[in-house]
Chains A and B, each alone.
Chain A
C-alpha cells in the first residue's frame, strides 16, 4: 500500500464518514505532502464550483430548424443511394448466380454457338431497321437529315422544359423555407 493511502483518496472523496474525516484531519496535521495536495484541491474545487454555463449565440433554434431541412434532404439522398446500391448488389448477385449456373451447365462449344447465334440475330435486326428506313425514304421523299434535326430539337426543348420546371420547384421550396 502507498504511504499516503487511503488519505490521498479521501482528500478527493466527497462523502467521508465522521471517523474517516477525523483520521484525515489527524494525518493532514502530520503530513506536509498531503496538506499541500489538499490545499491545491480546495482551490481547484472552488474554481469548479464557480462554474458558469456557456450559452449559444442567439437564434440557435432557428438555426436548428434551417439545418433540419437540409439534413433531412441529405438523409433522403443517402437513403436513395443506399436503396440503389442494395438493388444493384442484389441484381449483380442474381446475375452472377445465373451466369455461374449457365457456365456450369453449358459447354464451351455451346457458349460459342450461342454467341454466334446472338450476333447473327443482332445483325439481322439492324439490317431490318435499315431496310425499313430506306423503304420509308423512298415512299416519302422527306430528307432523313431534316427529320433527325427536328427530332434533336424536340428532345432539346423537352430537356429545357424539364430543367425550367425543376428550377421553379427549387425556387418555390427556397421561398417556403425562408
Chain B
C-alpha cells in the first residue's frame, strides 16, 4: 500500500469524503470488473460496485490496515455479488451490454476485436454455469492472481474449501468449454449468407 493511499484511508476514516472519492477513483476498475464478471450485466455491475463502495464507506472504521485495502474491497464486492446471485436464483446475462474491454494491444483490427469479444463471451457463458462461490473463486484466481490463501480470506472460506472449489470449478469449465467453443461456430455457419461475407 502506498503512503498516499494510507493517507487517503486515514483521512476518509476521519470523515473526509474527498479522500474516499480518491480511493473510489483508484479502485473502481478492480471492483467493477469483479462485479461484472460475477453478475454478467453492465448496469447491475455498476450498481453493485457503487453499493460495494457505500458498504466500505460505512464500515471504514472496521477496516484492518494490516490487510491490503483492495483485498478488503474485493471481499465486500464478492460477498455482495454472491448474495445478489442467491437472491436472483435464475442468472441473467446481457451479452449485448459488454462494456469496453481493456485489451493490451488495441490495434484497430475489427476481426480480432470481434474474436476477442467472442472469447470473452464464451468465458462469460462458462462462468455463468458455475455456482456463485465457485465463480468468485475462479475470478479471483484468474483475474486478480490471488493465491488460494487470499481467496480463502476474501471469501471467508478455509484453504481446503477453496482448493476443492477450484478443482470442481476447473473441471466443470473444462467439460463445458468444448460445447461453448463449438456453439458460436454452428450459429455463424447457419447465419452466413453471401450478403454478409
Contact = CB atoms under 8 A, between A and B. Distances in A.
Contact of B54 (A12, A54, A61, A68): A68
Contacts of A81: none
Contacts of A44: 126, 170, 173-174, 177
A162 to B, nearest CB: 31
B170 to A, nearest CB: 4
Contacts, number: 105
Contact of B167 (A12, A57, A61, A68): A12
Interface stretch (A45-53, A111-119, A134-142): A45-53
Interface string B36-54: 1100001001100110011
A120 interface: no
Given A61-B21, A67-B50, A68-B57, A52 B103 contact: yes
B122 A47 contact: yes
Interface residues of A, number: 27
Contacts of B37: 54
A12 B166 contact: yes
| Interface secondary structure of A, over-half rule | helix
Contact of A54 (B17, B101, B173, B177): B101
A40 interface: yes
Interface of B: 17, 21, 24-25, 28-30, 32-33, 36-37, 42, 45-46, 49-50, 53-54, 57, 99-103, 116, 119-120, 122-123, 126, 138, 142-143, 166-167, 170-171, 173-175, 177-178, 181
Given A44-B177, A50-B119, 6 more contacts: A53-B102, A55-B101, A57-B46, A61-B24, A64-B50, A64-B53
